[in-house]
């Protein structure tokens, strides 16, 4: 076992870890890193003077790629109408994603017709702050614009952002009718008014106005999709409810089927070769929190290419092992759902595997006394961005 590329930058190694190779096998290996890249994977133990992290007794797996994580909203607004500084929130989110083994994080930033947490002012603030902080973040952090299709008045702004390539992923969302149907539920109405800052009466009136403009949606969505395709931005459709919906959005360039609501829709996506993204929390819970497609059964049927953290970052590292425990999948396939699968769906061909020439994104994995996965260290772009295991400390000081 030896793969090598030439690189003149300073090097360091991870030695002794049970390493997942590109064919899915696990072997003890020495992984050499230079700059942001893996330059060599060998069966030897490195050189005595190598700067190193000792991975003995642990597993080394490809870094996690999260295509859709919106738990960062809880750091922006931890309680209804209670905001904290965007820079502080995003820095804390970065610490959380790195601690959970996520080396590429797509923050699912919703741009809705609502004011408040998902309104224009917040979206602009997050975009600008992300661009200021980008070089200081541990994970490769990107923005996934969740465009609410009834947000008709924002189409010019969204087109401009896409031309400027300020997003790496676009998803088409339509929650207006669902929200209208739930306005008589006190828990949901409280959620909507809390994040928007509107009274119940004001919010209900806003929803009615939005729904009334439904005949304008198709034309504006087409404009947004045309702008995304012109810039090579990957497009997903969100919560497709039927095979017909999937075909409709595929015709607009939405190659990713994100959270299909049912099996026939997932089967339509699979038959067309569309990557299917489901929620890792769905796997951990054993069912959808919304009564929709069960992720584990879909995975067993080959109807899933990627898992996303959705609203719970720790779910991504844990879900593959839960699938293995239940006999749903072998580890190599299960781990691909959080690494190479989402990377391929997003067009990120430089990551998802531990091999020479790939970006040095890796997770050093421990297991707690109950057998649950625990992140000992996270390496993103060749940098050690998280270290939790006490016995790594001396090695970390030399390799960081």
Same structural domain for residues 160 and 277?
A: yes
Given 327, 345, 363, which residue is the final one in a domain?
345
Q: Give me the sign of the Cα torsion angle 239, 100, 26, 297.
A: negative
Q: Which of 328, 345, 362 is the last residue of a domain?
A: 345
25 in the same domain as 168: no
Query: Same domain, yes or no, for 178 and 100?
Result: yes
pLDDT of residue 363: 98
In a shared domain, residues 215 and 296: yes
What is the largest distance, in Å, between two alpha-carbon atoms of the chain? 71
- pLDDT value at residue 10: 62
- Which residue numbers in the chain have pLDDT < 70? 1-10, 46, 48-49, 391-400
Give dist(CA 181, CA 177) in Å, integer.
Answer: 6
Statement to judge: residues 340 and 194 lie in one domain: yes
Whether residues 239 and 293 share a domain: the answer is yes
Residues 221 and 364 grouped into a single domain: no
The verdict on 54 and 74 lying in the same domain is no
CATH number at residue 373: 2.30.40.10
Asked whether 15 and 60 are in contact (CB, 8 A), the reply is: no
Q: Are 301 and 285 contacting, i.e. CB atoms less than 8 angstroms apart? A: no
> What's residue 174's pLDDT?
95
Helix (H) or strand (E) holding 263: helix 263-272
Task: Determine contact, residues 275/257, Cβ cutoff 8 Å.
Answer: yes
Same-domain status, 218 and 300: yes
My answer on whether 340 and 361 are in the same domain is no
Give 107-144 pLDDT, tens digit per residue.
999 999 999 999 999 999 999 999 999 999 999 999 99
Which pLDDT score, from 0 to 100, does residue 234 have?
A: 97
Confidence (pLDDT) at 288: 76
Predicted pLDDT at 2 = 38
* CA–CA gap between residue 323 and residue 132 (Å, rounded): 38
Residues 238 and 329 in one domain: yes
Quick: pLDDT tens for 61-113. 999 999 999 999 999 999 998 999 999 999 999 999 999 999 999 999 999 99
pTM, two decimals, is 0.94
pLDDT at 46: 65
Domain boundary among 345, 367, 391: 345
Residue 301 belongs to a domain with what CATH number? 3.20.20.140
Tally of domains within the chain: 2
Q: Which domain holds residue 388?
A: 2-62+352-399
My answer on whether 298 and 329 are in the same domain is yes
């Amino acid at each position: 076992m030896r793969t090598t590329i030439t690189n003149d930058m300073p090097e360091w190694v991870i030695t002794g870890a049970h390493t997942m190779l590109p064919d899915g096998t696990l072997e003890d290996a020495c992984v050499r890193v230079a700059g942001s890249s893996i330059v060599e994977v060998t069966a030897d133990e490195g050189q005595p003077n190598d700067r190193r992290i000792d991975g003995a007794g642990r597993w080394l797996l490809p870094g996690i790629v999260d295509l859709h994580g919106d738990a960062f909203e809880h750091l922006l607004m931890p309680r209804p109408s209670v905001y904290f500084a965007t820079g502080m929130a995003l820095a804390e989110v970065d610490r959380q994603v790195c601690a959970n083994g996520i080396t590429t994080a797509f923050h699912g930033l919703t741009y809705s017709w609502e004011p408040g947490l998902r309104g224009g002012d917040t979206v602009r603030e997050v975009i600008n702050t992300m661009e200021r902080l980008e070089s200081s973040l541990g994970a490769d952090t990107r923005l996934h614009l969740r465009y609410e299709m009834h947000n008709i008045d924002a189409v010019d702004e969204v087109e401009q952002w896409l031309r400027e390539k300020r997003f790496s992923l676009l998803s088409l969302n339509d929650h207006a009718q669902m929200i209208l149907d739930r306005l008589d539920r006190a828990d949901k109405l409280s959620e909507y008014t809390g994040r928007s800052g509107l009274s119940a009466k004001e919010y209900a009136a806003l929803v009615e106005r939005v729904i009334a403009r439904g005949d304008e949606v198709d034309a504006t969505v087409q404009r947004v999709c045309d702008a995304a395709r012109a810039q090579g931005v990957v497009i997903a459709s969100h919560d497709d409810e039927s095979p017909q919906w999937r075909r409709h959005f595929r015709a607009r360039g939405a190659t990713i089927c994100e959270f299909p609501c049912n099996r026939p829709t997932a089967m339509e996506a699979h038959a067309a070769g569309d990557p299917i993204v489901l929620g890792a929390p769905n796997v951990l819970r054993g069912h959808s929190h919304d009564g929709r497609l069960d992720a584990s059964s879909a995975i067993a049927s080959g109807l899933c290419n990627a898992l996303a953290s959705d609203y719970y970052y720790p779910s991504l590292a844990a879900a593959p092992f839960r699938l293995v425990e239940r006999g749903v999948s072998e580890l190599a396939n299960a781990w691909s759902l959080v690494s190479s699968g989402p990377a391929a769906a997003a067009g990120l061909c430089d990551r998802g595997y531990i091999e020479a020439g790939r970006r040095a994104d890796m997770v050093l994995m421990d297991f707690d006394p109950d057998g649950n996965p625990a992140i000992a260290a996270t390496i993103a772009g060749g940098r050690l961005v998280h270290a939790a295991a006490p016995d790594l400390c001396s090695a970390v000081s030399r390799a960081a």
